[in-house]
Amino acid sequence: MLKSAVTMLLCSALLSVSVAQTPAKPITVFSVGGKPVNSDEFLYLYKKNHPNKATDYTTEKIDEYLALFINFKVKVDEAKRRGMDTTAAFLKEYNSYKDELRKPYLPDAKLIDSLVRLTYERTKEEIRASHILISVSPDPSPEDTLKAYKKITDVRNRILSGIDFAEAAATFSEDPSAQANRGDLGYFTALQMVYPFETAAYQLKVGEISQPVRTRFGYHLVKVTDRRPSPGTVEVSHIMLRTGDGKDNEKVKNTIFGLYDQLQAGVKWEELCKQYSEDPSSKDNGGRLRPFGPREMSGVPEFEKVAFSLRKPGELSDPFQSQYGWHIIRLEKKIPVPTLEEATPALKAKVARDERSEVSKQALQAKLKQQYQFKENTAAKAAVMGLADSSLMKGTWKAPALKTEKETLFTLMGKPHNIKDFLVYAQKNQRANIQAPRKYFEDLYNHYVEASIMPLVEEKIKARNPDYSFLLREYYEGILLFEIMEKEVWNKASQDSVGQKAYFEAHKADYTAGDRVKAAFYSGSVGDFMTPLRELILKGDEAKVQETVILRKLKTEAGYYKKEDKAVLQKMPWTKGVYPAENNGIYYLAWLKEILPPGFMAFEEARPQVISDYQTFLEKKWLEQLKKKHTVKVNEKGKKFISEQLQAK
């Protein structure tokens, strides 16, 4: 968790800074173990960490940063010598970050933005459509596909000849709901239907019937019956009385109408909701539900219909019944469709998960194959695909030894990629799956082609974007630094209790404090816990204390505090005891266990600071050892050059 947070903090800083112009021929500033560190890297990093701060561009500050940067490079060099950058865990993490870093530079970035804009425009409108489905299995034979296509085409011809669409849906559609709804799907907007279906619907005018549309469910005919502006989302509160489970529906109905009369007479909504509502997830917050849009409550269509029918905040619905019970709804607010700028972050995430992202990916792959002169040996590929068998479904497929394994499978920029390389890739990257073996093997092949193209793409990105190379190095070295620091300093400092105590004993004079108290605090939003919990503490019943804390969901905090550390300490005597207090609507029970006078701290009290100081001590000692092992040489000309560059105004 800490590692991810530290790395992401590093990354967010990197991504927010543009690269400064540096000389075409950088010079060496220093070297570690014979490996030079050049001025362009140092200048980039210094400016990144000191944006627009003139006071940070003094000779003293630059020298200070240089010393820190040398220490950083020494640690990284040690991590590399230990092979920490070759472990599977490191490569997985680094490649994951690299994949994210590369995305803004890839040609498909504009295609994704285009998909987001198109999806946003569609969310501004709702379509009402009917459909007829002829089902096709996920992996059909060519014969089954043709049979389904002929069937859907025949149905379309019948409709064009005069048969009513709803009648045809009830008669021919293989959608299980067609008998009941006669093909009517109601209103929907973008991202609520599979992508090919959505696209077909948005391209039709009211009354038009589509050509056969293929989705993963089969072939569809789509007829648009209405189009209207999107109502956005709605936020409501509700009071619900459940029915079923032997309850008397008439009695429940009379109760909900009685509550409605009380609301009309002026009784507070929150009071009735808390007392009567049988929705445990919302009754204590006034029955308030998260905002929802059309079809998001499709499991309770009556609820959605009533919610969207309300017009003004505060307006109450009449009591109505759903499959769960009787409801009264109060409108809190209507939320219009957001602007493109507001909607983009959420839409981009949804588009990336949706099958429409495959449109972007396929277009990119086709473009890259052309750009990098992809040429496939179709005969070799056909032979290789014939190696697929059922063991692929279990993820246990073994690459056979072939006489043709050195034969070229495809070339990129004239460079051959042979059969053996793909077979090794397939065996290593296969996973248990439910796809047909041949289809899954084809997917592995496509992923291998993509993986083979990416290094070429990356070289081009590096050549055109110097900042990308800097970013890659930052991530690479940042992960290594974390790994080795965790191993050599952080874990040792936090886990070595013997070393902590020895360090404390040698530096006791550094750990003093004024008046403070050893205390424990229990807090909650309601104060009815304080009296019974106080009695348990005074009795010394620790088990019951912990049981009460868990049952009442109280927050707890313990440690050493000065009077000014917590506002509630100002409201109680500075003596041992258990005291109730309230501050800003939060109720506290403070157990003051021991009042400590000014003086030296005990090890237990000083331990957090001891660990921090011991960590600094261990790091300094370790660095001294490293610098004997990794020769550091500073180039005075390079040092002078970076100072001149940074101080030039």
* Predicted local confidence at residue 649, as pLDDT: 57
* Predicted local confidence at residue 100, as pLDDT: 84
pLDDT, one tens digit per residue, over 496-549 is 999 999 999 999 999 999 999 999 999 998 999 999 999 999 999 999 999 999
Does residue 23 have a pLDDT over 80?
A: no
Strands 408-412 and 375-376: antiparallel
Does residue 402 have a pLDDT over 50?
A: yes
Using DSSP's 3-state secondary structure scheme, residue 177 falls into: coil
CB 435 within 8 A of CB 446: no
CB 322 within 8 A of CB 298: no
- Could you tell me the pLDDT band of residue 108, with boundaries at 50, 70 and 90? low
pLDDT, one tens digit per residue, over 26-56 is 899 999 999 999 999 999 999 988 887 778 8
pTM above 0.75, yes or no: no
Using DSSP's 3-state secondary structure scheme, residue 218 falls into: strand
| Least confident window among 92-106, 145-159, 581-595 | 92-106
pLDDT, one tens digit per residue, over 417-462 is 999 999 999 999 999 999 889 999 999 999 999 999 989 988 888 8
Domains contained in the chain, CATH given:
1-81+483-498+602-649 (no CATH), 125-229 (3.10.50.40), 233-335 (3.10.50.40), 372-462 (no CATH), 512-600 (3.10.50)
Report the pLDDT averaged over residues 283-291.
Answer: 92
On average, the pLDDT of the chain sits at: 90
* Predicted local confidence at residue 16, as pLDDT: 36
Burial class of residue 73, CB neighbours in 10 A (0-12, 13-18, 19+):
buried
Report the pLDDT averaged over residues 100-118.
Answer: 80
Count other C-beta atoms under 10 Å from residue 307's C-beta: 22
Which has the closest alpha carbon to 290: 251, 237, 341? Answer: 237
- Could you tell me the pLDDT band of residue 616, with boundaries at 50, 70 and 90? very high
In terms of pLDDT, which residue wins out, 361 or 372?
A: 372
Q: How far apart are CA 519 and CA 515, in angstroms?
A: 13
Structure tokens at 420: 């053996």
Q: Which residues pair with 417 in a beta bridge?
A: 410
- Could you tell me the pLDDT band of residue 7, with boundaries at 50, 70 and 90? very low
Structure tokens at 317: 């619905």
Percent of residues, the chain, with pLDDT higher than 70: 96
* Predicted local confidence at residue 6, as pLDDT: 39
